[in-house]
Amino acid sequence: MSEVLNGIFANSQVDYVINGTDIVLKRREEVSNVSNEKYQIKGSVRDGNGEPVIGASVVLKGHTETGVITDIDGNFVLTVPAKKVTLSISLYRI
């Protein structure tokens, strides 16, 4: 019975459960490829002369709540949700 049902529903969004003499059909739950892994990016922000930029804002583009400020040596460490991200770096001068 399982072989027949597997063949019938192989390329569909329908899943089944055999419950005694009943076959219960339900929508197949999609498996998420979203990972809870976090990645650390370490870097340094320098100006055109190679000098460290102190206090620059380094933010995950599109996620302004995920960001850090460079330290006195221009260094930063940022934890991000994916291996490939785009960072936005800015410095406000008064």
Query: pLDDT tens digit string along 10-50?
Result: 777 777 777 777 777 777 765 555 567 888 999 999 988 99
- Its pTM stands at 0.58
The residue that leads in pLDDT, 59 or 63, is 59
Distance CA 37, CA 39 (A): 7
pLDDT at 14: 75
Residue 91: name the closest of 32, 51, 41 by CA.
51
Q: Can you tell me the mean pLDDT for 59-67?
A: 85
Choose between 85 and 73: higher pLDDT. Answer: 73
Cα separations (Å) of 65 from 47, 50, 58, 68, 78?
A: 25, 28, 11, 9, 12
